[in-house]
Amino acid sequence: MTSKPIWFKFFIQDWKFSDTARKMNHEQKGIYLELLVDHAFDGSIPSDQEELRLIHHVSAETWEPFWEIVEPKFPINDDGRRRNPKMVDAMIHYKKSIDGGKKSAGIRKNKANPPSTPLQPPYNESATPLQHNANGEAATTQHPLNHIDIDLDKDKEKNKTGGVGGGNDSEARKRKSRDTLDKDWNEISRWYESLPQNQRNAIDQAIHGIKQTRKTKKLSQVARINLAKKLRQYDIQAVISACKIYSENNYHLEGKNEMYLYGIIRGEESKCRT
């Protein structure tokens, strides 16, 4: 474990009716519980009984009859340390419980504050999707494709300075590409903004997972547009249900991308028709 445990399971009934506990007086029970606490905290206890006696400040007279009772409960392992089998199981349970709690907390946090995606403004609550660039960062202008403007300016500069070949054609092609992307982006933005917030959250969560299936952990603008266009083809209720299934089952951790999501959507649509 990377950190010391802060609790362990203690079954009262097992302790109350334990043959071991019945053989001990109150002082001995206290020493035994201290050994269990040390075991839980450090993962084991020393094998040398004299070392244990001194650690717990117990007189030799008190220790000898006590150790006769509890020594079988702490067998020596291959590494030379003593471990109580029940405490080992309890620490395994502890680790699983802590790991499960962290995972559940992460899921609850993501549901309460879904990760920002290109379809949801990540940093500026008042911004629209058109105010963010392909990396999900706030753009310097409201134009979603300001990087193309920069390329066009470079072409213009080349033409002015005698740059090689086809300056006007290149500029026209880039403007046409930009206009097409602008049109598509505006269209999917209007569709997305027309959805209720809870539906946006479900879609955002699924898209965040899909991004994790990419090596770069990002989606290009063209990929986002194509994804949104595909989602619009299906029944919105099937889309939302499928997005929730995809996210809640963490399919992105298995490398399953949007193609798997589309399959879930088709399955949800078929349920609606039956």
- Determine the pLDDT at residue 110: 61
Q: Which of the listed residues 84, 113, 142 is the one where a domain comes to its end?
A: 113
What is the domain count for the chain?
2
The torsion region of residue 77 among left (phi > 0), alpha (psi -120 to 50) and beta comes to: beta
Whether residue 134 is found in the same domain as residue 238: yes
DSSP state of 114: P
Across 184-207, average pLDDT: 89
Q: Cα(47)–Cα(43) distance, rounded to whole angstroms?
A: 13
Close Cβ partners of 123 (under 8 Å, ≥ 6 residues apart): 116, 137, 138
Name residue 115's amino acid: P
Does 181 or 203 have the greater pLDDT score? 203
Whether residue 212 is found in the same domain as residue 248: yes
Whether residue 265 is found in the same domain as residue 142: yes
Residue 120 lies in a domain: no
Q: Cα(135)–Cα(19) distance, rounded to whole angstroms?
A: 65
Close Cβ partners of 58 (under 8 Å, ≥ 6 residues apart): 31, 66
Whether residue 232 is found in the same domain as residue 263: yes
Whether residue 232 is found in the same domain as residue 199: yes
Does 153 or 105 have the greater pLDDT score? 105
Share of the chain above pLDDT 90, in %: 35
Whether residue 98 is found in the same domain as residue 137: no
Kindly report the pTM of this predicted structure.
Answer: 0.40
Whether residue 151 is found in the same domain as residue 257: yes
Q: Which of the listed residues 86, 113, 140 is the one where a domain comes to its end?
A: 113
pLDDT surpassing 90 at residue 21: no
Residue 209 lies in a domain: yes
Beta bridge partners of 82: 45, 76
Q: Which of the listed residues 113, 143, 160 is the one where a domain comes to its end?
A: 113
Residue 121 lies in a domain: no
pLDDT band at 274 (very low <50, low <70, confident <90, very high): low
pLDDT band at 178 (very low <50, low <70, confident <90, very high): confident
Comparing 17-21, 46-50, 76-80, 148-152, the range with the smallest average pLDDT is 148-152
Beta bridge partners of 76: 82
Do the Cβ atoms of 111 and 118 come closer than 8 Å? Answer: no
Whether residue 138 is found in the same domain as residue 227: yes
Do the Cβ atoms of 136 and 224 come closer than 8 Å? Answer: no
Close Cβ partners of 32 (under 8 Å, ≥ 6 residues apart): 20, 21, 24, 66, 70
Whether residue 242 is found in the same domain as residue 137: yes
Does 156 or 170 have the greater pLDDT score? 170
Tell me the CB-side half-sphere exposure of residue 108, using CA atoms within 13 A: 6
Per the structure, the complete domain to which residue 37 belongs is given by 1-113
